[in-house]
Every structure is written in C-alpha cells, then in structure tokens.
A and B are shown apart, each in its own frame.
Chain A
Amino acid sequence: MARNTLGSRFRRVEVDGLEENSRFVEEQDEAAELQGPDTAEVDSLLRQGDMMSAFHVALRNPPINSKNPAIKEKAQAVVLRVLTSFKSSDIEPAVKSIDRNGIDLLMKYIYKGFEKPCENSSAILLQWHEKAFAVGGLGSIVRVMTSRKTV
C-alpha cells in the first residue's frame, strides 16, 4: 500500500548535470559570523546556579552563518550542557521567557541534539521539545527543517 509501484528511475537522473550553468548556486551571505555563546560566561553562571541567565547567554550569538564545524560543535556542546542541567519543572518558565526567534533557535539546537544522542540527553531534550512545541507549534519545527542556516 505504501510502496511506490510506478517507475522511479527518473529520480536518479541528475537534471542539473544535463544543462550547463544550471546548478542552483547558494548565495553567499555577508552577514557577520557569530562565534557561538561564551563558554566561560555560561560556565560561571551554571556554577552559581543561575540557570535562567545561563540559558539566555547560551542562546546568544548562534553560529548560523559559520561554515566552521568546530564552532558549531562547541556551541552545540555548550547549549546541551545548559539544557541538561535544568530541572524538569524549570523548563516551562525558561521556554516562556524567550521570544519567537528564540523558540526557533532553541528548536534548532534541540533537533541538533537529537542527531547525536548521548547518555540521558534524549530524555531531557524530549521534555524541552514538548515545552518548546507548545509555544512554537508546528511552524517552529517546519522552520528547523527549511532553514538553510543551520546552527
């Protein structure tokens, strides 16, 4: 029932290769390359137990325009550390404290976190996902999928 019984060989033809100059060229964004959240600041806030501020600082300067995978890895690690150090009951007020763009950015980090699960991360990420989804709706998830600027 779900199997495609019509021919699908045409899908393997590289249409852009048949014609010259027909490749879709990604436009180079001249926006400033943000370097990711400040690890030191986030660390100190976590040590002080100020989760909310650590959360807000971690969501600053997302490396969305960067092509450097190391910067992205570092940012992801910082955000993941903050997210996992939250208590379940504190997640909802944290999610309520950020604006629409913040929710979209948080969703991007959550899905990035899902890609490489490590001990316990998926469980806490699912809780974050549930709360973020309640605010951002399906639109925030669609934007994670369609955005060409990945975090």
Chain B
Amino acid sequence: MSLYSFGLEPLSCHAWNKDRTQIAVSPNSSTVIIYQKKGKEWSKIHELKEHSGRITGIDWAPESNRIVTCASDRNAYVWTLKDGVWKPTLVLVRINRAATCVKWSPQENKFALGSGAKLISVCYFEKENDWWLSKHIKKGICSTVLSLDWHPNNILLAAGSADLHCRVFSAYIKEIEDKPGPTSWGAKMPFGEVLLEQKDVGGWVHSVAFSPSGDSLAWVSHNSAISVADAAQGKEVTQLTTEYLPLLSVLYVNETEIVAAGHDCCPYQFSYMGPGKLDFVKKLGISKQTSKNSMSAMQHFRNLDKKATTDEEDNELNTLHQNSITQLCVVEGQKAKVEKFSSVGLDGALVLWDVKV
C-alpha cells in the first residue's frame, strides 16, 4: 500500500495509461493534469486545458492511447498524442446538461457518456466525415445517469442513475461492429434495448461494475447497500445492506470478490458466491497505530491550559484516506485477477492497494 498526495484539492477522477507510468487526474477543476512517474514521485508533464466546466470523467484507452474527458460544460473531448502534445477533438454529444461519467468500450472503438440530460450518449468515430458521432439511449431513464460500465462483449452497457434504477442497455452500433452473439443477459440486442431494469434499489446508484466474465453486475447505492444481479441465475438480484456510510465506487477483483469504497474513506471487500450469498469479507488497510505515550505532568497541564482538555486527540482519521474515496481503478493484473488497484479521494490523495484474496 502506498499513498501519494497530489495536493489539497479533491481529485474528481483519474485514469492510468497502458503501462501505468502516467496518470491523468483532475483536481476538481476544468483541467486535466498528466503526471509521469519518476521514482517514488510523480512529476507533471502535461496539462489538458480545453473544458470550461469542472471535469467529471476521464478515461484512458490503453491500446489506442487516447484519452476521453467529459465535463459539466456539456462537452466531451477525445485527446490524441501528436508529437508529444495532446490534441483535443470535440465530440458532438448533443446533451443539454452536464456530462457525469465517461468510459471507453473494451475494444476502444466507442465510448459511452452519462449525463444529467437523462440520457446516455454512445459515441463512435465516423471515418468518412472524420468526426465523432453520437447515438442516444433514453429509454426509461428519468434522471441523471451517475455511472457506467461496459460488458466485456463490447455491446452491453450498465448504467446506474439518480432515478434509483440500475439498468443494462445494448449499445450495439451497427455501423462499426458485427452483430453480437447471445449472452446470459439476453439474445436480442438492438441499440437501446433494455436487458435489465432493476427498480428502486433504495438510493442513487453511484457505481456499477460487471464481473470479469460479464455474467454478474454489481452496484452500490446511496442507501449504504451493495447489490449483485446474476444473469446466469435468471437475473436474480441479491442486496446486502451494510452498517457503513454509502459506498461510491465498486470494482471486481476476480469473479467472486468485489471491492467497494466510499464515504467511510477505506475500501471494503465483499464476496458473491451465488444468489443470496453476498457477504462482507473484510475492511482493507490497516488502521494507523495511535501512539498513546504516557504524558508527563508538565504536558498534562500544558494541554489543559492550551486546549482545555487533557485528551491527546488526534484530528486525523485512522484510515489512509482522510476523506471520501471517489473512484477505484484497476492498476495491475487482468480484470479476472486484479493484483493492485488505486483509489482517489476528496483529500487529494492517490493510494495503491495490493489485493490479498
């Protein structure tokens, strides 16, 4: 486990490049900063300034080395590296509210963008006119789309939204890909088709994640619960209500183990073994040892004089992060066997965690 602090500003989002030597972060502003790893430190090498609103999502496509960013200014840009400089290309997403999240598809030929306009914009590159086009998924969505995740088959897209629903849509774009074969979620997948609509999960759905095989879908909602929908078992949903504060981000580290983190400032591990068997495993990270030295009489009275109390109160939390964790990302290992993952939070820190299953 290692912690690196990028400053005092909260980190809204982060994305890694292919070999994890560079990281793109946004410090709660309209710019994206790319840092290069130099030994144990990170040094700033690029600053991407094009957005006029706060950046809400960054995703870095590992193979094609393109970055997509979206912001509250209702725009999304795709950045490509040319001669050592990142050049932006505007994407016509056609939304009239802020964008909230963005994710490249597994094959990187399209990306999905969630927005406050109650729709998801699936964008792909049209070669003839040399620009990015978008198609909208609106069916059933009644409020802001808060989170997205792609199924490994590059077609299905899970969306968590503020209308308390979690849905799986088909984002099949016939112009750029072949017809998909049937999956455990369904056989007919025209664009915009709803393959799962989980109603009223109890709160805003902050984050969704497909398992490495794509057969199950986990999400975390604001009622401090984590749920899993199992396509292989008739799309049965199992929900586990926790006694912690709401979780904001969820990630699969292998087919059955799930890590989630949120307002409690530390990641928790859960295990899904089948319908009805979603259990809490452990809290990750060791608590800092609070050193309670025996105070001398002098210190005792000094404390009483200065702070009107004799308690040696520590103002810090005993978790690594000092504020809510906003996003988790895979760093090392395949999706099916994650070895390291990263977390960024409102305290401006990046922590790398080792997975010990």
Once the chains bind, are A147 and B163 in contact (CB under 8 Å)?
no
How does the 8 Å CB contact mask read for A114-151 relative to B, with 1 for contact and 0 for none? 00000000000000000000011111101100111000
A32: shortest Cβ distance to chain B, in Å?
Answer: 16
Contacts of B202 in A (CB 8 A): 143, 146-147
Q: Of B143, B222, B242, which contacts A146 at CB under 8 A?
A: B222
Given contacts A27-B200, A146-B222, A147-B202, contact A140 B243 (CB under 8 A): yes
Given contacts A27-B199, A146-B202, contact A139 B224 (CB under 8 A): yes
Q: Is B245 an interface residue (CB 8 A)?
A: yes
Contacts of B223 in A (CB 8 A): 139, 142-143, 146-147
Once the chains bind, are B245 and A138 in contact (CB under 8 Å)?
yes
Q: Is A10 an interface residue (CB 8 A)?
A: no
Q: Is A6 an interface residue (CB 8 A)?
A: no
Nearest residue (CB) in B for A144 is B223
Contacts of B118 in A (CB 8 A): 22
Once the chains bind, are A139 and B203 in contact (CB under 8 Å)?
no
> How many Cβ-Cβ contacts under 8 Å join chain A to chain B?
47
* Most chain B CB inside 10 Å of its own CB: which residue of A27, A29, A104: A27
Nearest residue (CB) in A for B204 is A146
Contacts of B224 in A (CB 8 A): 138-139, 142-143
Nearest residue (CB) in A for B224 is A139
How does the 8 Å CB contact mask read for A4-27 relative to B, with 1 for contact and 0 for none? 000000000000000000101101
Once the chains bind, are A142 and B199 in contact (CB under 8 Å)?
no
Once the chains bind, are A24 and B245 in contact (CB under 8 Å)?
no
B339: shortest Cβ distance to chain A, in Å?
Answer: 30
A104 to B240, CA, bound (A): 13
- Interface, chain B (partner A; CB < 8 A): 118, 142-143, 163-164, 199-200, 202-203, 222-225, 241-246
* 20 A-B contact pairs sorted by A residue (CB < 8 Å): A24-B142, A25-B142, A135-B243, A137-B244, A138-B244, A139-B224, A139-B241, A139-B243, A139-B244, A139-B245, A140-B241, A142-B223, A142-B245, A143-B202, A143-B223, A143-B224, A143-B241, A146-B202, A146-B222, A147-B202
